[in-house]
Amino acid sequence: MQEIRVEFSRNMSKFVVFAKLASFTVFTGLIMIKAAQKKREVFKLKENDKFEEIFKQNEKRISYHMHKLGIRDPLGDF
């Protein structure tokens, strides 16, 4: 993530300071909105996956964590 700097000097009027802060706030807000939209798009893609597909992709990971946490599967579903 890029660092954004807003510079102020003592001889600036209050309006200029307010305008710089307002534009910085709007800019930061737009970045956050775009990030949220990207997350929604990724979630929509994942939402369409079936449980079986997700399970197949993560079967080793699931069994590892079940073993690590001491979760027993007497029916052998997992």
Instruction: State the amino acid at position 56 in one-letter form.
Output: K
Half-sphere exposure at residue 14, Cβ-oriented, CA atoms within 13 angstroms: 0
- What's the pLDDT score for residue 1? 47
Contacts 24+ apart (CB under 8 A), 71-75: none
d(CA 23, CA 18): 9
Q: What are the tokens at 7?
A: 């510079």
Per-residue pLDDT of the chain (78 residues; tens, 9 = 90+): 455 555 556 665 655 555 655 565 656 666 777 777 777 666 665 666 677 787 888 888 888 888 888 888 777 766
